[in-house]
Amino acid sequence: MANRIDRKFSELSASGRKGLFPFLVAGQPDMKTTIQIIQRLEKVGIAGVELGFPFTDPVADGPVIQSAFTQAISDGITVATILNEIAKARSSIAIPIIAMVSASIVYKIGIDQFLSGSSQAGIDGFIIPDLSLEEAPIIADKAASKDLRLSMLISPNTPPARQERIAKTASGFLYYMSISGITGERDRLPDDLVKNVARIKEISRVPVLVGFGIKTAQQVRQVCTVADGAIVGSAIVRRIAQAKTEGKDSTGIVESVESYVVELMTGTTGVGIN
């Protein structure tokens, strides 16, 4: 069976569609609700989900995601908890699940053990934002041997030669950061976004997704005119935190996320193939 990430992008390409990949923090507000959100969002047509593994010292995450990480850690969320819950729910979830995880977590557990555990749980690929380019090929090869994918990050400041090295190493998809710095919602995306993504598409063997700063359906549409899809994180994480603060239960939180994602999904329709 083909990797779910590869299969999903093949489906999107064949049907002329672009994909929305929401980012969720595992354990926000709890793992049961995280799984329920994934299941509900699959029904409304998301292409996949990026699942953040809580970490005490996130690399590029802004205050909204950092706060969610802190909450999840204080509630006792661990890698084992996350993988166990995914494993139990995997038979009811068909879309790809991509883990956003710190290299420190991977190395502490052990590369082989972490990859094996993730594969058994039903994880399809990884984004390891603090993984050095020099170390990446080792993990990429080990992941490939288990039919897992290692997606890589490219920022607006990444030199062209380094972009090409990253593109050669990445599998699954390339993640283009629309802005340099940390995650967070932006009212306006950079003017050079389309030009930059077009260049990356020329050198990439895999699809290109764009994340960082995206919060509206219009911005999703802007991204999808050139990229293969959009990743939306902080805006979703903030809504979950807000719904919890308002006293909403799991059902209310899931419905709040669903209504917002349905709105974002309108930005992926009618864009066409690049």
CATH number at residue 237: 3.20.20.70
Q: Which domain holds residue 84?
A: 4-265
Indicate if 187 belongs to the active site. Answer: no
Domain assignment present for residue 272? The answer is no
Cα 85 to Cα 92: distance, rounded to the nearest angstrom: 12
How many structural domains are present in the chain? 1
Classify residue 270: in a domain, yes or no.
no
Instruction: Determine the angle formed by the axes of helices 234-245 and 63-74, rounding to 10 degrees.
Output: 50
**What confidence tens digit (pLDDT) does each residue in 188-247 have?**
566 888 899 999 999 999 999 999 889 899 999 999 999 999 999 889 999 999 999 999
Active site residue 61: yes
Each residue's pLDDT tens digit, 116-160 = 999 999 999 999 999 999 999 999 999 999 999 999 999 999 999
- Taking the C-alpha atoms of residue 194 and residue 206, their distance in angstroms, rounded to an integer, is 17
For residue 230, tell me if it sits in a domain. Answer: yes
Global pTM value: 0.93
Whether 113 has a pLDDT exceeding 70, the answer reads yes
Catalytic-labelled residue, pool 6, 11, 42, 50: 50
Q: Which of 30, 42, 57, 61 is catalytic?
A: 61
DSSP string, 51-83: EEPP-SS-SS--HHHHHHHHHHHHTT--HHHHH
Three-state SS for 211? strand
